[in-house]
Amino acid sequence: MHVSYQLSLPFASKTDSSDHGELPIDTHFDVAFANEIARLESYNKHLYRPNTYLHKWWARRCGSTFRLILKHLVENEDQRDYYAPGGLEGKIVLDPMMGGGTTLHEAIRLGANVIGADIDPIPILQARATLSDIPLSRLETAFAEFFEALRQRLSPFFVTSCPFCGLTTEVQFTLYGLQCTCECGPALLVDSYDLRHESDGSVIRLCPRCHNITHGTCECADRAQAVPVVEKSTTSCPVCGVPYQSDRRQPFYARYVPIAVVGNCSHHGLFFARPTSGDLDLIHQANEARAALDFGPRTDFTVKPGPKSNDLVKRGITSYLDLFSSRQLLYLHHAIDLLSDLEPLIRLNMALLISTSLEFNSMLCGYKGADKRRPGAIRHTFSHHAYSFPYTALENNPVYPEMTSGTLQKLFHDRIRRARQWAQNPQERLIKQSDVRKITLRGEVDAGVEVTHCTDLRQGSHRFLLIQGSSASLNLDDNSVDYVVTDPPYFDSVQYSDLAAFFRVWLRRLVPVGVQWDYELAESAVDPHTNGEGQYAEVLSAIFAECHRVLRKDHGRLIFTFHHWNPKAWAALTIALKEPGFVLINRYVVHSENPLSVHIANLKALTHDVILVLASKQTMVNVARDWEHPRAIDRTDSYAFCRDCGAALGWLLNSNLDNEDIGKFWAELLE
pLDDT, one tens digit per residue, over 474-503 is 999 999 999 999 998 755 545 678 899 999
Compute the distance between CA of residue 485 and CA of residue 107 in angstroms, rounded to an integer. 9
Q: Clarify whether residues 527 and 615 are in a common domain.
A: yes
Confidence of residue 439 (pLDDT cuts 50, 70, 90): very high
CA distances from 606 to 308, 350, 382, 400 (A): 21, 36, 20, 40
Q: Clarify whether residues 102 and 156 are in a common domain.
A: no
Total domains in the chain come to 2
Q: Is the dihedral of CA 378, 380, 385, 387 positive or negative?
A: positive
Under 8 Å between Cβ of 172 and 378:
no
| Residue among 649, 486, 455 at smallest CA distance from 557 | 486
Q: Clarify whether residues 127 and 163 are in a common domain.
A: no
575-586 per-position pLDDT tens digit: 999 999 999 999
84-102 per-position pLDDT tens digit: 999 999 999 999 999 999 9
- Asked if the structure places residue 338 within a domain, the reply is yes
| Residue among 226, 288, 224 at smallest CA distance from 257 | 226
- Percent of the chain residues past pLDDT 70, beyond the cut: 90
pLDDT of residue 199 exceeding 70: yes
Q: Clarify whether residues 455 and 581 are in a common domain.
A: yes
Q: Clarify whether residues 233 and 373 are in a common domain.
A: yes
**Residue 201: how many other CB atoms lie within 10 Å:** 6
Distance between first and last Cα of the chain: 53
Q: Clarify whether residues 433 and 518 are in a common domain.
A: yes
pLDDT of residue 8 exceeding 50: no
Give all strands (DSSP E) within 191-338, no chain letters: 194-197, 203-206, 213-215, 229-231, 245-246, 256-265, 269-273
pLDDT of residue 13 exceeding 50: no
**What rounded mean pLDDT belongs to the chain?**
89
Residue 493: predicted pLDDT: 46
Q: How distant is the alpha carbon of residue 424 from its chain centre? A: 23
321-369 per-position pLDDT tens digit: 999 999 999 999 999 999 998 999 999 999 999 999 999 999 999 998 7
- Asked if the structure places residue 2 within a domain, the reply is no
Confidence of residue 604 (pLDDT cuts 50, 70, 90): low
Under 8 Å between Cβ of 149 and 350:
no
Domain boundary among 373, 406, 439: 406
Residue 17: predicted pLDDT: 42
Compute the distance between CA of residue 641 and CA of residue 241 in angstroms, rounded to an integer. 48
Measured torsion, CA atoms of residues 49, 55, 61, 63, in degrees rounded to the nearest 10: -20
Domain boundary among 354, 373, 406: 406
Domain boundary among 359, 381, 406: 406
What is the CATH classification number for the domain harbouring 618?
Answer: 3.40.50.150
- Asked if the structure places residue 354 within a domain, the reply is yes
Q: Clarify whether residues 147 and 244 are in a common domain.
A: yes
Q: Clarify whether residues 384 and 433 are in a common domain.
A: no
- Measured at the CA of 526, the angle between CA 479 and CA 492, to 5 degrees, comes to 120
β-strands 582-591, 557-562 pairing: unpaired
Q: Clarify whether residues 382 and 452 are in a common domain.
A: no
- Asked if the structure places residue 352 within a domain, the reply is yes
pLDDT of residue 1 exceeding 90: no
Residue 159: predicted pLDDT: 97
Query: Which range is least confidently modeled, 3-17, 37-51, 97-111, 590-604?
Result: 3-17
Compute the distance between CA of residue 250 and CA of residue 532 in angstroms, rounded to an integer. 34
Could you tell me the residue range of the domain that residue 190 belongs to? 141-406
Report DSSP letters for 45-56, one per residue: HHHHSGGG-SS-
Compute the distance between CA of residue 567 and CA of residue 560 in angstroms, rounded to an integer. 18
- Asked if the structure places residue 7 within a domain, the reply is no
Residue 596: predicted pLDDT: 44
pLDDT of residue 383 exceeding 80: yes
Beta partners for residue 334, in sequence order: none
- Asked if the structure places residue 3 within a domain, the reply is no
Q: Clarify whether residues 469 and 578 are in a common domain.
A: yes
Beta partners for residue 180, in sequence order: 187, 246
- Asked if the structure places residue 453 within a domain, the reply is yes
Q: Clarify whether residues 603 and 523 are in a common domain.
A: yes
Residue 80: predicted pLDDT: 95
271-328 per-position pLDDT tens digit: 999 999 999 999 999 999 999 999 999 999 999 988 889 999 999 999 999 999 999 9
Q: What single DSSP character describes residue 321?
A: G
Confidence of residue 646 (pLDDT cuts 50, 70, 90): very high
pLDDT of residue 608 exceeding 60: yes
Under 8 Å between Cβ of 628 and 596:
no
**Residue 564: how many other CB atoms lie within 10 Å:** 19
pLDDT of residue 532 exceeding 80: no
Confidence of residue 12 (pLDDT cuts 50, 70, 90): very low
- Percent of the chain residues past pLDDT 90, beyond the cut: 76
Compute the distance between CA of residue 450 and CA of residue 132 in angstroms, rounded to an integer. 7
CA distances from 648 to 149, 172, 208 (A): 60, 55, 59
Beta partners for residue 508, in sequence order: none
- Asked if the structure places residue 464 within a domain, the reply is yes
Q: Clarify whether residues 391 and 435 are in a common domain.
A: no
* 596 against 572, higher pLDDT: 572
